[in-house]
Structure 1
């Protein structure tokens, strides 16, 4: 009972901290805490406050965000996203010519009754197949077979059901969900021998009212799949603006997954209103974890590889590209650097900073951070 009360208090703290930024999002305040509460309280999803505000995703009260477009290939970069109405799922409709074999796709939302069980039929010279799934941005043309049973809002079980999948370029993860289930949509690294010191650098100019909440949700999803601990993976987080880097916590501050998730959920950033300088995180990483690494400061472990993630939506570069390249090359001798550019950012500069072209990632809009394919790609880079 004491544990349940403690979890409730932490959820309330997280809810109070980020209520301003949750207007445009529908996410569990802390997925780990919601899952633990569901184990101890079978009626969690019948509680109006908890099911609607603290744990709406776990209780099946969140509308899904899906890709929405007509496309002729597997590239969804030109697609828009759409928020589905209640009782609708993300859909991929594939039309294949039985004569030429050419495939054409339609992506969007579809009613449960159409998705239920999947549909495949032949019309004259065309074969039509519909696949549906129940995770945000899960409907890509790469999907083959996905969940066809959406989460229900009634709760009769206290168990938590998750399934994981091995990374693949041709399949999507299948999830089985109930009202207390927490679908795992990315590769699970908890049993991997890949321990890392991960330093996250977040662009502070991403608008707090929506952007940072979305970034925080993305980070919490990643943390759920990591083996967090003093002898496993540790995570530090900082934000940067036009002139400095602000450390929110160091690597050895949170050494269990629950406290780290709460720290991310309660993270509060204020938009400085100034375009950040991309040189700031590069300089800070080199100074703290490069030059000073032999001293083991800031919780940095000497025998564990460092991985830095720089997330930015806009930036300037106060130095020449050659200067950034020189400092970045020195930095790469100490750590692996992943860059995530959102929107119309300078690809050339981020490509120079990243470990290599595979570690320079780009998305068109913030919502794509929570796509299962994108999260899986980031996780796979940790150990590469």
Structure 2
């Protein structure tokens, strides 16, 4: 191990003093980006028993999967909005039934053994109709929360690609800690948000000569999940959206961090920004979050200088407030929007689908 690896190893292990283990509640990387950099320098990183157990268990794929879980079939997959931690020898499973009589789909999601995923001992949970009236498809996958449908049939038939929309689009999604807060309609937000992002992406044509989409999660910091150049087809992007690594650990939002990210990092050559293509920023904000403030109680990141820096990076900034617009200081982030028409407000995550066409028009026009 060279001296750079020693530095990375020491810095990682000094972040927390205890071994995290590989159970579902604590199995996470100390710093995934550091794990990526370490693996670039040392391809045998995950063969190191100490590092793979303590610093990079998620990166090294030794953690149990978190999968969407519902015991009964549902017609609208966003209603399967709870997750469960699987056993180490299980994968996420999606069962889909398509009725040959009326054309509707039903879904069951959960964990499944490797044997079941290979077709052994499979049991179906779609009621008692004759099987010849139903087409059943079972798929398994091995990344967190990957067992949501990705096929275009889950997108409303009214979805249309915008042929002239070529944009570099940066989505910034607040990763709000909702584990003990189900005050909005529909329980956990993740299935509704994932479904909406998939509808949005399906409305665009993704490609190197078309639109590209970057995504970051924000709480007390901004975490880049993928860059503009990482997913260059609609199918690749839809699959990536299914596996967004939400953590839901914090309930505060660093607006200054978002400003710095947009103005310095989001549209860099390294991230795949195309200088000749217009830039668009879409920021999803949960009204329950607590923005970081100065010593005088002012919300950081919402002054004129911040607005100016963001607009230098993108002339098209859209803010989506989720929840009542007058109940949280976090909605002061709306001053970063291009203008008042670029601020959209929905009552809860279940209502996001109602603004899809408006959002697509703001992105593309």
After TM superposition, the score normalised by the length of structure 2 is 0.50
TM (normalized to structure 1)? 0.48
